[in-house]
Amino acid sequence: MDQDLSYQLAFGTYEDALRMVGAASEPRTAATPVSGARIQLFAAMVHDGNRSYWDAEFAQQKWGGLPAPPALLMGWLIPPPWQPGGRASAASIALRVPLPGNTFINAANECEFLQPIVEGDLLTVVEELVSVSPEKRTRLGVGHFVQTLQTYRRQDGTVVATCRNTLFRFTPGAAP
């Protein structure tokens, strides 16, 4: 078990988890604003030659700056892997749900991108715990599906995106 990971997960019973449904997190603001360097690093990883990410002049005219790839949305809210004075908690509310499972894997994700997000924007997210499923068995093991709703705002308060994410919080084990 990875030390950092176990540190982030909260442990408890399914009944404990159900008591947390409906809870919302405090607003959490990104450590750094949306930047051209990270936009292009992500586009490079995906091998995405979309001119909007690479041609600053075109992007300025079309979007008012290099646009953040929609797929990188949740990445802006992950703190850098090291910070002076200690790393800010990266733990999404989904990991703070008390459950028995000692690991997790993502299961589904649904996002609406209401407004373009461009370089220079500073995003803030509020997360809400929507539901926790009864115990399920999958090919990976036994656990619970945890659904959260994220609402992303930029610095002027405009909601720019909303996401529903479902992850599977489980303990690995062979199917019976």
Partner 1 sequence: MTEDLDWNEISVPVDLPEVVDHISYQRVVENSGATWDYFPGHFDPGYAQSQGNPTIYVNTMHLAGFADRVATDWAGPSSRVVRRSLRLAGSIYAGDIMVGRGRAVAKRRDASVHPPRCLVDIQIEVTNQHGALCCPVELTLQMPEYP
Residues engaged in binding partner 1 (CB under 8 A): 1-2, 4-5, 38, 41-42, 44-52, 55, 58, 62, 67, 69-75, 78-81, 103, 105-114, 116, 139-141, 172-174
- Pick 18 or 130: Cβ nearer partner 1: 130
- Pick 116 or 120: Cβ nearer partner 1: 116
- Pick 22 or 44: Cβ nearer partner 1: 44
- Pick 53 or 153: Cβ nearer partner 1: 53
User: Cα–Cα distance between 43 and 53 in angstroms, integer?
Assistant: 7
CB atoms within 10 A of CB 65: 18
User: Cα–Cα distance between 39 and 52 in angstroms, integer?
Assistant: 10
Query: What is the closest distance, in whole angstroms, from the C-beta atom of residue 124 to partner 1 in the complex?
Result: 17
Contacts of 107 (CB under 8 A, 6+ apart): 145, 166, 167, 168
Tokens coding 146: 């945890």
**Pairing between β-strand 159-172 and β-strand 136-137 as defined by DSSP bridges:** unpaired
User: Cα–Cα distance between 126 and 99 in angstroms, integer?
Assistant: 22
Query: What is the closest distance, in whole angstroms, from the C-beta atom of residue 69 to partner 1 in the complex?
Result: 6
Query: What is the closest distance, in whole angstroms, from the C-beta atom of residue 110 to partner 1 in the complex?
Result: 4
